[in-house]
Amino acid sequence: MTEPEANLSKTYDAVIVGSGAAGGMAAHVLTSHGLQVLLLEAGKKLPIEQELRSMEWPYDNAHRGDLPPESHALTFNEYTIRNPPYGAGFEKARHLRSYVGNSDYVKNIVVDERENPFTGTNYAWVRARCLGGKTNIWGRLALRLSDYDFKAKSRDGFGEDWPISYSDIAPYYDKVDLYLGIMGVKENLPHLPDGIFQRPQKLNCAEVTLKQSLQKMGRVLTQYRAGVTSEGLKHNKYRSRCYGRGSCERKGGCDIHAAFDSPTGLIYPAMDTANLSLRTNAVVREVTVDPQTGKASGVHFIDAQTMKDYTVRAKVVVLAASTLESARLLLLSKSRSHANGLANSSGHVGHNFCEHIMGPGVTGRAKDLVGKPSTLDDGRPGGFYLTRFRNLSEKHPKFIRGYGFEGGSGCRMFPSGTDVHGFGASFKEEVRKNQGAYIGMGAFGEVLARYENYVDLDPVVKDKWGIPALRFHYKFGDNEHRMAEDMKETAQEMFEAAGFEIVHVRSRVLTEGWSIHELGTARMGDDPKTSVLNQFQQSHDVQNLFVVDGSGFVSASCQNLTWTIMALCWRSCDYLADEFRKGNL
């Protein structure tokens, strides 16, 4: 693959900021329409296979996969008792990472918190600044949204409906499935539409027991719908099919790229069209605006290593820096014609910020599996997904919207149950005989999109490149806490009904941000007074500006976001290319 250099003296058809799921998809779609595109990425291009080392055995790693001693990753308790900007109290650590950065394999992928500070309310903000962004380490659960989500306000009166329906986005979900590969089983559920699935992985014994028990309760457990190709993709020479080595369980990361990541899935194929140029280490700090027309004219960026300033011109600007970073860029891009920040005549940029609440869950033991021979359960890119069952056909008295559970069971390289008392041969025997019997699951629930949950710019604190930091004004509300209470109760009930011995029930809610599913800071809508983008993620105010990441989501749903980010982005970029051709941008 040749990597064309960026030519800063030229005016590109489009400049894309950010190379994760959204930026990669924008690059794929726009270059396939023949546009000349420049992709700017703040982070490095890492030698990713050497970082992930999916085939490395724990005993071949100097720290058994843990962080080297000079680094520290924040823990739940630290997020609870410390306030952002995180750093004070950790002076001994040369590098400070978010909670995800607690392994040797991701230490260079997630950012150093001190170089990238933020302020305000507590938030476990996980950022990956490198080519591909968070897709290098994502958890791979690839779900669709439905009209239960897109038209949620019409059902329960809260918030806003999306300006699109499932029928608008369904063809684009299909395109994403076929282009990137997804494993799963069809279930025919109106609230969790099926995809075009490749060969699914198998459920193991305890998971089947739970599935059958749930059927009696009218609830559905399905195989983990993984954004992984099990059968291979003939059109993509950069990715292999899944060999079921299971190391993606180590915080994601598949060094043969069976699991989707943006560079091999989208960016390298886009480069093969010869229409894409890439510049890494390009920290965009502002979208520039033509003072005559008020339209976007390009971006200013700083070279992350030399600290030099550059400008690049483009006919269309596409922000894909992730939900919070794109909002930050809009707020940073103030000018005479956009005094309140770019695309912000509604005052909604940074607001309606939402995500998923997580924490409650349960661990159990299938007694009939204790003492049974070990099985190879590690070799799967995921366990199961227990789909939403609240507020579908009936109304819960205590909260609106819903939640689902992610879970799994079986024997692992690092087995469950090593916290039992004892030592020596009897300890090993105890761990061995129980390990395959453990089963666990944790919930992900919808956080309501509320105007009063927002981010703005900190007036004082700046990042390593002198760019004002984001300030959070964000807390879970009563609906989320009541939902979390229900998650804990139903998790326990369902395990009891399946006949599992309950080992542990988790009731604590994890710090805001823990789900890594930030959404909604520049929501779509038909009314420019109450929304930032139209249904094609095009700014109402600036017609040649698009924001194609999770910023445009109107509500969070409880399903994972990445497949929807990419389907929406594909739809918006088809529209963009069409408008570009007609000379409307």
Ligand X SMILES: Cc1cc2nc3c(=O)[nH]c(=O)nc-3n(C[C@H](O)[C@H](O)[C@H](O)COP(=O)(O)OP(=O)(O)OC[C@H]3O[C@@H](n4cnc5c(N)ncnc54)[C@H](O)[C@@H]3O)c2cc1C
8 A C-beta contact, residue 408 and residue 211: no
Which one of 12, 14, 43, 572 is in contact with ligand X (CB under 6 A)? 43
Which one of 221, 258, 320, 577 is in contact with ligand X (CB under 6 A)? 320
The one of ligand X, ligand SF4, none whose footprint includes residue 54, by CB under 5 to 8 A per kind, is ligand SF4
Neighbours of 47 (CB within 10 A): 9
- Would you count residue 551 as binding ligand SF4 (CB under 6 A)? no
Cβ proximity to ligand SF4: between 261 and 541 the closer is: 261
Q: How many residues bind ligand X (CB under 6 A)?
A: 40
- Of the candidate spans 26-34, 248-256, 271-279, 424-432, the one that interacts with ligand SF4 by CB under 6 A turns out to be 248-256
DSSP-derived secondary structure for 427-491: HHHHHHHHGGGEEEEEEEEEPP--TTSEEEEEEEEE-TTSPEEEEEE----HHHHHHHHHHHHHH
Which one of 170, 178, 185, 256 is in contact with ligand SF4 (CB under 6 A)? 256
- Of the candidate spans 154-162, 254-262, 286-294, 344-352, the one that interacts with ligand SF4 by CB under 6 A turns out to be 254-262
| Nearest-approach distance from CB 110 to ligand X, in angstroms | 8
Which one of 258, 349, 369, 509 is in contact with ligand SF4 (CB under 6 A)? 258
8 A C-beta contact, residue 433 and residue 415: no
- Would you count residue 138 as binding ligand X (CB under 6 A)? yes
Is the sign of the CA dihedral 518, 522, 525, 531 positive or negative? positive
Q: What does each C-alpha distance from 208 to 203, 214, 221, 487, 493 come to in angstroms?
A: 6, 10, 9, 21, 17
| Nearest-approach distance from CB 330 to ligand X, in angstroms | 11
What track of x and - describes contact with ligand SF4 for positions 27 through 56 (by CB under 6 A)? ---------------------------x--
Q: Residue 60, class by beta-carbon neighbours within 10 Å (0-12 exposed, 13-18 middle, 19+ buried)?
A: exposed
- Would you count residue 254 as binding ligand SF4 (CB under 6 A)? yes
The label of the residue with tokens 């992730």 reads 322
- Of the candidate spans 31-39, 207-215, 238-246, 484-492, the one that interacts with ligand SF4 by CB under 6 A turns out to be 238-246
Which one of 129, 388, 488, 523 is in contact with ligand X (CB under 6 A)? 129
User: In b/e form, how buried is each residue of 522-534, taking b as 16+ CB within 10 angstroms?
Assistant: bbbbeebeebbbb
The one of ligand SF4, ligand X, none whose footprint includes residue 562, by CB under 5 to 8 A per kind, is ligand X
The one of ligand X, ligand SF4, none whose footprint includes residue 561, by CB under 5 to 8 A per kind, is ligand X
- Would you count residue 228 as binding ligand SF4 (CB under 6 A)? yes
Cβ proximity to ligand X: between 260 and 495 the closer is: 260
DSSP-derived secondary structure for 209-271: HHHHHHHHTT--EEE--BSB-SS--TT-TT-PPP----GGGTTS--TT--B--HIIIIIHHHH
**Helix, strand, or coil (residue 2):** coil
What distance lies between CA 484 and its chain's CA centroid? 21
- Would you count residue 288 as binding ligand SF4 (CB under 6 A)? no
Of 203, 577, 535, 478, which is closest to residue 366 (Cα–Cα)? 203
**Structure-block tokens of residue 332:** 């940073």
Which residues make up the interface to ligand SF4 (CB under 6 A)?
54, 228, 242-248, 254, 256, 258-259, 381
Which residues make up the interface to ligand X (CB under 6 A)?
17-23, 40-43, 100, 126, 128-129, 133-135, 137-141, 251-252, 282-284, 320-322, 325, 329, 516, 549-550, 560-562, 565
